[in-house]
């Protein structure tokens, strides 16, 4: 008998942001395949005796290959067990979910997707601001700052990203943001456009930096290798809370 896979979205790291449905699936699972950013205290919710398997991928570090992760999902589920694939943030946002679903479909294995809180929402909430503004930011757009090679994607919609009346969220873009900011400014976005860098969301070392796109690009140009996960927001952000 084939097993079943639950894709559980863990949020950015704070266990209290995990949905009740996600917590239930963790307690029921026989095997949990988890990302680096979805580990820590959240794994304490897994039942005693569950097999916990680290399959995280982090830039600049030795990581599990995607085809290996997909193969593990198929093999465990084919053995008839309940599998949780624990992904950070929301599994459907830049989480390589499509590749893993395709592998399960090809093997005839059932699955479900349990949505979660993405880091964009948490970053705005922690900064005390909304992602949208009724008069000045009626659109939110999510973009990846790195392609499959780790470089800034060449086919981004620069006109949309340089729209001063949108809120833009950049995932996996800390290293490439200086190049991204230069292209945005070249396409007409003001250098003093507000920006927010949010690091280690949901963790004890969480850090929020309110700045501008030009100042942030300058800072990240001279920063060392990244050791913390980060998301960057820019555009028509609400003023800092008083």
Rounded Cα gap, residues 242 and 240, in angstroms: 6
Place of tokens 């994607």: 153
What's the token pair of residue 63? Answer: 């990581």
Rounded Cα gap, residues 153 and 132, in angstroms: 25
Rounded Cα gap, residues 114 and 153, in angstroms: 29
Q: Which string of b and e fits 18-35 if b means at least 16 CB within 10 Å?
A: bbeebbebbeebbbbbbb
Residue 171 and residue 144 in contact, taking contact as beta carbons nearer than 8 Å: yes
Place of tokens 């290798």: 225
Identify the H or E element spanning 185: helix 177-186
Q: Which residues are catalytic?
A: 35, 57
Give the other-Cβ count within 10 Å of 232's Cβ: 27
The H-assigned helical ranges of 43-129 are: 66-78, 97-106, 119-126
Rounded Cα gap, residues 74 and 94, in angstroms: 21
pLDDT in single tens digits along all 242 residues of the chain: 578 999 999 998 888 999 999 999 999 999 999 998 777 889 999 999 999 999 976 554 456 788 899 999 999 999 999 999 999 999 999 988 999 999 999 999 999 999 999 999 999 999 999 999 888 888 999 999 999 888 999 899 999 999 999 999 999 999 999 999 999 999 999 999 999 999 999 888 899 999 999 999 999 998 877 778 899 999 999 887 65
- Give 79's DSSP letter: T
pTM score:
0.90
List, edge to edge, every strand of the sheet that includes 51-54: 51-54, 31-34, 82-87, 4-9, 110-114
- Give 241's DSSP letter: P
Q: Find residue 170's DSSP bridge partners.
A: 143, 232
């Amino acid at each position: 008998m084939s097993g079943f896979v639950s894709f559980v979205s863990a949020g950015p790291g704070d266990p209290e942001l995990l949905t009740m449905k996600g917590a239930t699936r963790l307690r029921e699972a026989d095997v949990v395949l988890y990302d680096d950013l979805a580990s820590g205290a959240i794994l304490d919710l897994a039942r005693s005796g569950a097999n916990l398997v680290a399959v995280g991928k982090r830039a600049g570090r030795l990581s599990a290959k995607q085809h290996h992760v997909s193969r593990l999902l198929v093999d465990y589920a084919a053995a008839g067990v309940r599998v949780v694939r624990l992904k950070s943030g929301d599994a459907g946002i830049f989480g390589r979910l499509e590749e893993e679903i395709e592998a399960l479909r090809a093997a005839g294995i059932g699955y479900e997707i349990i949505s979660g809180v993405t880091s964009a929402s948490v970053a705005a909430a922690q900064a005390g601001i909304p992602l949208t503004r009724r008069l000045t930011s009626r659109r939110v757009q999510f973009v990846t700052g790195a392609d499959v090679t780790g470089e800034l994607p060449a086919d981004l919609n620069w006109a949309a990203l340089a729209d001063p009346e949108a809120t833009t969220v950049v995932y996996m873009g800390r290293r490439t943001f200086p190049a991204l900011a230069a292209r945005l400014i070249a396409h007409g976005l003001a250098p003093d456009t507000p920006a927010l860098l949010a690091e280690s969301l949901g963790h004890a070392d969480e850090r929020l930096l309110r700045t501008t796109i030009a100042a942030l690009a300058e800072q990240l140009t001279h920063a060392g290798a990244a050791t913390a996960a980060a998301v960057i927001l820019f555009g028509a952000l609400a003023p800092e809370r008083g």
